[in-house]
Amino acid sequence: MLTTRHVLLLGTLTLLGACSTTATEVPPQTAQGLASLRSSLINGKAQITRTTEAARELTKATPAQLDAQIALLLGEISALETIALKGKTQLATQKAEAKAYFEQWDAELKTMSDDVQSSGEARREDSMASFETLGDELDDLKSIFRPYMDSLTEAAKYLKADKTAAGVKTITPHIEKALKVQAELMSQVDVATKQIDTMLGT
């Protein structure tokens, strides 16, 4: 039966052997959470496209189309918020699991020879740096996403009370704020996804 110690030992030796060609690849024991987070980013990007399109179409809707377009936008915003909350939970879980793993890795290295400790610690620090880089990329993503989401959420909230052409005209500046940052938002999703791909060695 493989114990945690055995898994860490095998992981350390495997990663040391790969060190020269996978400078930013992280241990496989942390990969599942990263893959789940990547999936949420991909789903989120697709939902951002749908939400932005619904917002754009609402600004061009005729009076006869207003109810349907408002309902569509509300639904897309809700779906996007669900994905965002899932991603937030996954990120928190991933951070906790990675922290625990790196602590175990450090403890295991202390039981090994000086040579393995030296090489293993360098590899461990490199892996930790990859997670820090991902955290920075996700913080940048959040700083773009939150204003985008807030603008659309406020617009939707207003339109629940004023489902008229005049209401749409009143709230259109808020919708346009979101439309203007879509490209930057999508680009930052790609940056974070690419970082995860690098970490997964794909």
Question: What's the pLDDT tens digit per position in 58-113?
Answer: 999 888 898 899 899 999 999 999 999 998 898 888 888 888 888 888 888 888 88
Q: How far apart are CA 175 and CA 192, in angstroms?
A: 25
Q: How far apart are CA 202 and CA 199, in angstroms?
A: 8
**What kind of fold does domain 31-92+131-200 have according to CATH?**
Four Helix Bundle (Hemerythrin (Met), subunit A) (1.20.120)
pTM > 0.85: no
Name residue, tokens 């938002």.
185
Q: How far apart are CA 16 and CA 113, in angstroms?
A: 14
Question: What's the pLDDT tens digit per position in 26-71?
Answer: 777 778 888 999 999 999 999 999 999 999 999 998 888 988 998 9
